[in-house]
Amino acid sequence: MSDLPERISLREVGPRDGLQNEAPVPTTSKVALIDALSRTGVGRIEAVSFVHPKAIPSMADAAEVWAAVAKSSEVRYSALVPNLRGAQRALAAGFKEIEVVVSASDTHNLKNVNRTTEQSLDDIAELLATAHAAGATCQVIVSTAFGCPYEGDVPVERVLAVAGRALADGADGLSYGDTTGMATPSRVTALVGETRMRFPVADLNLHFHNTRGTGLANVLAALQLGVTDYDASVGGLGGCPYAPGATGNVCTEDLVHMVEDMGVDTGVDLEAMLEAAREAERLVGRTLPSQVLRAGPRTKLTPL
């Protein structure tokens, strides 16, 4: 394992990807969760999304949430946006880091934002220029990168074409989203390997859902290829309202627990993240899929 990266950067997406797919929680609860996460040592938090309130009512209070968050100078906060209008709202709220999402498959993109992938990429070119003019950076997330629930497998070439267009238009970083948990380690190796060859200097983030239990295995496959940037969700919160059967993201504390024991530094204090996971369970009022939260860290001793 000596060839694994010494450290990785985690972006905590529970407040956004997680809460977006839960029964609505009050604004104060969202703020409390983000504030708890800000105390865990995690370097980045995707705090809110600026989507149309009719599309995702649970995110209608994004600007209010952001205004009330106790911003830590140790954390980079970002917002997810579906389109230019969302980007304008995020920039007006003061975000300097945004993510915009486009699906690699037309059917998923049409379902999601009522545009073809090509139409969304045209919009994103304008959005990137707008973000840059405002002094902000923007990462382009290519979702359904490992498969589409409506079209099945998405060819690697298709994903690379979408990624290449985004980078050519000025994307500051690239993320591959496994929206519906269709990735496996071999597919991660294939797509990441080709991406590295085609776009060797592009910043690459990976966003896995644990829908079919392959989340941490996918992270390990990508670690072995040197990928140092991952999304994860406290407690394993998460899903996607447009992806039938999608369940939570890779769980942050489970990921931290695994990779830290392999000598990979995440900057995250596991105990503080477990406390944030307990807070997340209280907020949503249900047991979350986190396994380390249930069992405790591997070195926890059982009384005789």
Cα(196)–Cα(97) distance, integer angstroms = 24
Q: Which residues contact 54 (CB under 8 A, 6 or more apart)?
A: none
Catalytic position from the list 138, 148, 240, 251 = 240
For residue 178, state whether it binds Zn ion (rule: CB under 5 A): no
Q: Which CB sits closer to Zn ion, 46 or 172?
A: 46
Name the one range near Zn ion by CB under 5 A: 9-17, 37-45, 90-98, 222-230: 9-17
Q: Which CB sits closer to Zn ion, 12 or 17?
A: 17
Nearest CA-CA partner of 8 in 45, 40, 34, 42: 42
Q: Please give the residues from 14 up to 43 whose contact with Zn ion meets the rule CB under 5 A.
A: 17
Name the one range near Zn ion by CB under 5 A: 12-20, 74-82, 159-167, 281-289: 12-20
Give me the least distance between CB of 95 and Zn ion, in Å please: 19
Helix (H), strand (E) at residue 165: helix 156-168
Catalytic residue at 148?
no
Give me the least distance between CB of 241 and Zn ion, in Å please: 11
Under DSSP, is residue 222 helix (H, G, I), strand (E, B) or coil?
helix
Give me the least distance between CB of 132 and Zn ion, in Å please: 25
Give me the least distance between CB of 141 and Zn ion, in Å please: 9
Q: Is residue 60 within 8 Å of 98, Cβ to Cβ?
A: no
Token readout for 121 is 């990429």
Nearest CA-CA partner of 83 in 115, 41, 46: 115
Name the one range near Zn ion by CB under 5 A: 10-18, 124-132, 157-165, 167-175: 10-18
Q: Can you give the length of the chain in residues?
A: 304
Q: Which CB sits closer to Zn ion, 17 or 172?
A: 17
Number of residues that bind Zn ion (CB under 5 A): 1
Query: How far is the CA of 283 from the CAs of 59, 90, 171, 199, 287, in angstroms?
Result: 15, 25, 35, 41, 11
Give me the least distance between CB of 14 and Zn ion, in Å please: 11
Q: Is residue 254 within 8 Å of 292, Cβ to Cβ?
A: yes
For residue 46, state whether it binds Zn ion (rule: CB under 5 A): no
Catalytic residues: 240
Binding site for Zn ion (CB under 5 A): 17
